[in-house]
Structure 1
Amino acid sequence: MVATIVSLAFDWSALAALTDTPGTRGRLRARPEDFRVEELPAYPLSGEGEHLYLHLEKTGHTTAHVVRELCAQLGVRDRDVGVAGLKDRHAVTTQWVSVPAKYEERLPAFGMEGVRVLETARHTNKLGLGHLRGNRFVVRVREAPGAADTAADTLALLVARGVPNYFGPQRFGLRGLNAEEGLRVLRGESRLRDPRVRRFLTTSVQSLVFNRFLSLRLERDLFDRLLAGDMAKKHDTGGVFLVEDPHAESPRAERGEVSATGTLFGKKARPLTLDAGELEREALSEFGLTPEVFASRRGDRRLTRVFLEGAELRPGEDGYTVAFTLPRGSFATSVLRELMKTDVDAAAGEPEDGDAEEGE
């Protein structure tokens, strides 16, 4: 029997790792430039249209803070500003933001310490949440002398087998406590009224259950195998299908062609069935939850693993620098946790990659 989990707080130590290589440990974010994130657009800009896209570089600010200043200085309504994702404060990040093109003449007056407008372009539609292909990360790990070879070995395993697609601590707020209030929202016990805050908090509960489901798969050697009842996703086309014969389909998973998905519960996401459904119900029951508590949510499916693109690692005097690209909605902390084997950013409370509304 698996022990009942009583805490709704995020805890890396409760989540199984994929690799058993030694951790490098080390220090992250000693300086903002140690953690760089480049947002990769989902589509090319047309060069014409009623929306002005701003390519921003920011240091020391959350995306929300920059958007508030943009609105205040240009006179734009908050609802007319578009972003594809949310980026961390403690990093140097680049991302696109859209505003109505009629405000273009006011842009030269915009000024904010730590923020630069790199370029502008017109496009036909407002930028929407999730309108990004992914993010390119370049991360320096300090205070880990001589650890580059160990990190390279672990990185090679992640490139070959994929990365556990855990929601990182950024999804769970300061001290990882968002899910506690999120559960109160789902049960009708919260006094919070802001609908955006309520949605974000309830995503923490969805994310907590997903993380436990994924951890159980890792614990039981099911990371790159499939179960009867799994809803598997094809990595090349994005097609999702029901696994009826796991013995026939698992070789495709072992080759990295398909992966299992987990449920972000809600009215439009049906729970898994058969053996996979039993595992999913086990994850739910450890938190005393049932699918019905998520009836107010839309729901979605999420891949249990993702694959790195362009992975590189360079040794440094006091550690190493690692670079990689992840698809949207995936967290760099899941990679860094495998490399370092520490509670990476466990005390964070701000979004890193910006898929905050996934599963709404």
Structure 2
Amino acid sequence: MSLLFNWDDLAYITTDLPGTGGRIRSEIADFQVDEVPAYPFSGEGDFLYLHIEKIGQNSNHVVKMLGEQLGVRFDKVGVAGLKDRHAITTQWISLPARYEKQLDALDMPGVRILETTRHNNKLGIGHLKGNQFSIRVRDADASHVPAVLEALKPIGIPNYYGPQRFGLQGKNAEMGLDIARKNFKGKASTPVRRFLISSVQSLLFNGFLSRRIERGIYDQLILGDMAKKHDTGGVFLVESLDESPRALRGEVSATGTLYGRKIKPLTLDAGALEQEVLAEFGVTLDDFRSRLGDRRITRLFTDIDFEPTEDGYWLRFFLPKGAFATSVLREVMKVSVDTSEEDDASEPTLDPSNPDSGVSE
């Protein structure tokens, strides 16, 4: 059974509304991402925090340049998540404070330091609240945007993993399953191996979510669901359909399982749907014994600003860490979204084991 990812096979939640078509990333300035920190920095401590702007550079390359020019070891550099190369992005990077005096000698094309501060710990993967996106869509019919955004407002956005999770030609999941089953013949570092296995988890989650949409239970709960409260993050087992009105009001949403040895599979009706997806892809729970596992919420709520232009439109919105802008764009555009970051996501040098650690698109 093939595990190749096909973005176009996933169900739309606004399938009855026309898309705008169009293209993204026609120019670097058309895709802008600003990282939002998870917590305020103290202004003092043993770690130097750099707020940088990158144009046409990915996070891995910036860390490499810092190592070459400052002599700082790779494992001493901290980032919260990976950021796009084909974009203008801002993010925070931490270094041991002793390198502060060498900053004036830095010469990194496409990178400038916006500000510096101090904090008492190294910045870690996942230490971000999320990302603010500003995305221009060109050659598009902007007249369709308001209706789609109005339809999404009460039901939320499907929290699909984006195509960059699955690498060039969507082969990450197949390699990841080979690694999990110890059938992989190639060479890959431990972080990359973990990332590839996480792409299998991501594929199965997308399948689970897509089937909920197809069966009309996207914004509802079914018996056996593990639901999550949007306000507090609390998770609970759905043992009665009396909980469904809360989902319809957007107070809670179902979660999908990112399989691992410490996460129990779903039961009852939700478990039957989960098992159906596993069987379709020929995957078993034993394939994830090397993973801890987690749960991922199936939908997101966010305010989306729309600005028409002469040839399309801008969309501006915030997404929490682990969420992908392509989930918003595909509902509005309803065409294959150009994802130029597959090269970055295929080699997640800075990304360890957490499947939601912020390859931010």
Query: Aligned letter for 2:203?
Result: L
**1:229 to 2:197 alignment:** no
Residues 56 and 87, structure 2, Cα contact 8 Å, conserved in 1: yes
Q: 2:135 maps to which residue?
A: 139
Q: Paired residue for 1:78, among 71, 74, 79?
A: 74
CA distance in 2, matches of 1:221, 1:291: 26
Residue 345 of structure 1, CA deviation: 2.6
Residue 149 of structure 1, CA deviation: 2.6
CA distance in 2, matches of 1:159, 1:119: 36
Q: 1:154 maps to which residue?
A: 148
**1:171 to 2:165 alignment:** yes
Q: Paired residue for 2:125, among 124, 129, 136?
A: 129
Distance 1:26 1:356, change over 3 A: farther
Distance 1:355 1:240, change over 3 A: farther
TM-score when normalising by structure 1: 0.94
Q: Paired residue for 2:284, among 290, 299, 322?
A: 290
SS in 1 for 2:281: coil
Taking only the aligned residue pairs, the percentage that are identical comes to: 59
Q: Paired residue for 1:39, among 35, 38, 42?
A: 35
CA distance in 2, matches of 1:193, 1:65: 18
> How does 1:102-121 map onto structure 2 within 5 Å?
102-121=98-117
Q: 1:263 maps to which residue?
A: 257
Residues 84 and 341, structure 2, Cα contact 8 Å, conserved in 1: no
Q: 1:334 maps to which residue?
A: 327
CA distance in 2, matches of 1:356, 1:12: 24
Q: Paired residue for 1:214, among 206, 209, 217?
A: 209
CA distance in 1, matches of 2:20, 2:71: 48
CA distance in 1, matches of 2:351, 2:139: 31
Q: 1:3 maps to which residue?
A: none
SS in 1 for 2:114: strand
SS in 2 for 1:53: strand
SS in 2 for 1:286: helix
Q: Paired residue for 1:64, among 60, 67, 80?
A: 60
Task: Provide the aligned C-alpha RMSD in A.
Answer: 1.7
Residue 351 of structure 1, CA deviation: 4.0
CA distance in 1, matches of 2:297, 2:161: 11
SS in 2 for 1:69: helix
SS in 2 for 1:72: helix
Residue 343 of structure 1, CA deviation: 1.1
Residue 159 of structure 1, CA deviation: 2.4
Q: Paired residue for 1:325, among 313, 318, 321?
A: 318
CA distance in 2, matches of 1:348, 1:107: 29
Q: 2:21 maps to which residue?
A: 25
SS in 2 for 1:113: coil
Residues 166 and 345, structure 2, Cα contact 8 Å, conserved in 1: no
Residues 23 and 338, structure 2, Cα contact 8 Å, conserved in 1: no
Residue 59 of structure 1, CA deviation: 1.1
CA-to-partner distance for each residue in 1:82-106, whole Å, 9 max, x for gaps? 1111111111000001111111111
**1:238 to 2:247 alignment:** no
CA distance in 2, matches of 1:277, 1:267: 16
Query: Aligned letter for 2:178?
Result: R
Residue correspondences, number: 351
